[in-house]
Chains A and B, each alone.
Chain A
Amino acid sequence: AQKITQTQPGMFVQEKEAVTLDCTYDTSDPSYGLFWYKQPSSGEMIFLIYQGSYDQQNATEGRYSLNFQKARKSANLVISASQLGDSAMYFCAMREGRNTDKLIFGTGTRLQVFP
C-alpha cells in the first residue's frame, strides 16, 4: 500500500489565489513527521514546511500552511497568494518513526501558476 498518496498529478491556479495540494499518508507508528518540498525544474528540493505527529497546531511558514487532519491522515499544503515563481513540482514526504530521517515520498503534484 502507498505510504504517501498525492492524488493530484497537476494543478492550476491563478496568480494571487490560494491553492491546496492534497497529501494523505498511512502509518501505524504514532510518531512521525510530515514534510513538503518544492522542486523547481533545476532539481533542487526546497524545504517548505514540517508537521510533527504530536504537534497540536497546524504548521505555518509564511505563505505556506499545512492543514493537518490527523484522524483523516491528511496533510494538505495550502499556498496563499500564489506567485508565478510557485510553479514547480511539490512533494509530500513522511518520516516514519522517531529514530530515522529516511523519507518516503509521494508521487508529487505539478503546480502551474498563471497570470
Chain B
Amino acid sequence: GAVVSQHPSRVICKSGTSVKIECRSLDFQATTMFWYRQFPKKSLMLMATSNEGSKATYEQGVEKDKFLINHASLTLSTLTVTSAHPEDSSFYICSGRDSLGNTIYFGEGSWLTVV
C-alpha cells in the first residue's frame, strides 16, 4: 500500500531556532498533503493543507509565518517551525492520499521538543 515517510522522527532544538520536518510520499504522487498537530493525550488538529506548486492553506488560528509549508514536488512537503518556542513542542504528523484510492495515509510523525 501507499507509504508516507516523515523525517526526523524526533528533534530537539533550542528556543529561537528553526526546524524543518519533511513528509514524503514514497510510492504515490500527492498534489495535496496535510499537516496536523497533536498535543499529548489529545486528538489531531489540522494545521494546514499543503498544495503542490502553490501556497499552503492554513486553518484558522495557525500562524502561517511561524509554520512555513513548502510543497515543491509531488512527493515532498516540508513544514518549518520558525523561531521555535517551548510551546511549539508537540507531535507533528502529515498525511496524503493516493489519488487511485480512498485511503488517507499518515507519516510516522515527528516529535518536536523546544528547549
Contact = CB atoms under 8 A, between A and B. Distances in A.
A103 interface: yes
B91 interface: yes
B interface majority secondary structure:
strand
Interface in B26-65: 32, 34, 38, 42-46, 49
B17 interface: no
Contact of A102 (B34, B102, B108): B34
A43 B111 contact: yes
Contact of B43 (A46, A91, A95, A101): A91
Interface residues of B, number: 23
Interface residues of A, number: 22
Interface string B90-115: 01010111000011111111010000
Contacts of A104: 46
Contacts of B44: 45, 91, 93, 103, 105
A76 interface: no
Contacts, number: 54
B93 A43 contact: yes
Interface string A45-78: 1110010100000000000000000000000000
B109 A101 contact: no
Contacts of A52: 102
B102 A45 contact: no
A109 B42 CA distance: 11
16 contacts: A33-B102, A43-B38, A43-B91, A43-B93, A44-B93, A44-B108, A45-B93, A46-B106, A47-B103, A47-B105, A91-B43, A95-B104, A101-B104, A105-B45, A107-B43, A108-B43
